[in-house]
Amino acid sequence: MQTPLIDDLISALRVLPGVGAKSAQRMAYYLLERDRKGALRLSGALQEAMDKVGHCEQCRTFSETDFCPICASSKRNQNEICVVESPSDIAVIEQSGIFRGTYFVLMGKLSPIDGIGPDEIGLPLLELRLQQQDCSELIIATNPSVEGEATAHYLQQMAKNYQIKVSRLAQGIPLGGELEYLDSGTLTQAFISRREV
């Protein structure tokens, strides 16, 4: 026996990933009771972002300008391209500070069974870039899933046609990871990629 507007709000909050009926209700009440200003700010931010954020014309990541800050930066090495599946992968890599090149975001991965082929993940745009630009290295950072591997393989073949150096992120034991809790696939990779010290 909620009022219609509160029902609407609770049901709208459930579009958020990980938010079920209970948390949506808790959020709605919290905002109504304690943070109406914050709720209005969120309303505005959602509207603005959905209206104005599109994709970078070079790397396909989210951007409200034609080119994202990374693609537009003169401080980044435009000849190194790191291929990732999603914009959140960029966020993780940027946090590490290890990479000073640019990105290409697939916004997905090859999955023929779901009708997702090279066109759907923007590969013609990437290929054009490999043709037109003097790329020194293509770093493949897709996830180590079946589709991620298939995508990596496809990218590798593509780069070969343009004699571009291709590399992949190393797989192995994560920092602080305990052998005991590793899956055997990771352990196998760690063995295969072992280095003499």
Sites of contact with a copy of itself (CB under 8 A): 1-6, 8-9, 11-13, 15-18, 23, 25-33, 35-36, 38-50, 52-53, 62-65, 68-70, 86-88, 90-91, 94, 107
Site for Zn ion, rule CB under 5 A: 56, 58-59, 68, 71
59 binds, among Zn ion, a copy of itself, none (CB under 5 to 8 A by kind): Zn ion
Q: 23-59: string of b/e by CB count within 10 Å (b at 16+)? A: ebbebbeebeeeeeeebeeeeeeeeeeeeeeebbebb
* 90 close to 84: Cβ distance less than 8 angstroms: yes
Report the distance separating Cα 196 and Cα 147, nearest Å: 31
The smaller minimum CB distance to a copy of itself, of residues 51 and 196, is found at: 51
Nearer to a copy of itself, 36 or 160 (CB): 36
- Find the shortest distance in angstroms from Cβ 94 to Zn ion: 12
Among a copy of itself, Zn ion, none, partner that 31 touches (CB below 5 to 8 angstroms by kind): a copy of itself
In 10 A of CB 167, how many CB atoms? 14
